[in-house]
Amino acid sequence: MKFVSPEAYAKTIVASMQEYSLLCARAVSNIFSRPRYIADVFTQMDSIGVGSLPIVVLTGFFTGCVLALQSATALKEFGAVNMTGRLVTLSMVKELGPVLTGLMVSGRNASGMASELGSMKVSEQIDAMRALGTDPVRKLVTPRLVATVVMLFFLTIISDACGIGGGALVSVTLLKLNAGAFFHTGYMSLWHGDIVEGLTKPLFSGFIIATIGCYYGLKTTGGTRGVGRSTTQAVVASSVIIIFVDFLVTQLMIGIFGS
């Protein structure tokens, strides 16, 4: 491992943050100007959204199942097993659904974006696009950004539904609770602030996944070895930032809605 001075390391971090900020600004501004590559957006929606559906469904379902089992075990001590539906629903909608979906999509798609764009970078395809007068950010980054934000929003809803369904299945079959009571307590526990919080987080997560994946892909150097390094960095960075931003959004929503 090569050691560098603290000054050089700090300059590298600042320069990386500057490059990332400029990339984000360009990608967002391209949405409001022409040309717009609509076909590429739908292609990425299919790859990101439909391709991530199985892992999101399975993750949400089994998370709900485990959450119901753990919740019932803890609630038995207080004689409140009937509140399992409330706990499962709130946990899935406000926190576990958005965060786990973001992490699953990050592991699948941030790595895919970084490896795809990194391969194009080391094989000089991106330089060829510039030579032909095509803006790589407009062509490659903006469609992925739009597709990830839109599809992660709907994937989170599906994950929430699967998690609640998994919790209901475990509660009815293993815990012998009433299905109607489970869904009623869960529904009555939700307020508009809970739903807003749960559906705001995937917008931030989608932005982070797309921009981080594309950023590391576009700055890839060093041939195939560099592609692998960029892929790993994209997954690690996006996962950590998603969790950090989740904390900030939760704090903001508690300040706005009070719960």
What three-state secondary structure class fits 160?
Answer: helix
33 by Cβ neighbours in 10 Å (0-12 / 13-18 / 19+) ranks as exposed
Helices (H) and strands (E) in the chain, counts: 12, 0
Q: What's the rounded Cα separation, in Å, for the pair 2 and 168?
A: 53
pLDDT single digits (tens) 41-86:
999 999 999 999 999 999 999 999 999 998 888 888 777 788 888 9
Q: What's the rounded Cα separation, in Å, for the pair 200 and 157?
A: 11
- 15 φ, ψ (degrees, to nearest 5): -65, -40
Q: Global pTM?
A: 0.92
First and final C-alpha spacing in the chain: 46
Could you say which DSSP state residue 50 is in? I
Q: What's the rounded Cα separation, in Å, for the pair 30 and 214?
A: 15
Residue 1: per-residue pLDDT: 54
Q: Where are the beta strands (DSSP E) in the chain?
A: none
Answer for the pair 139, 194: CB distance below 8 angstroms, yes or no: no
Residue 221: per-residue pLDDT: 86
How long is the chain?
Answer: 259
Q: Which two tokens stand for residue 110?
A: 């941030």
User: At which residue do the structure tokens 């739903």 appear?
Assistant: 195
pLDDT single digits (tens) 96-139:
999 999 999 999 999 999 999 999 999 889 989 999 888 999 99
User: At which residue do the structure tokens 């926190």 appear?
Assistant: 95
Q: Which two tokens stand for residue 99?
A: 């965060």
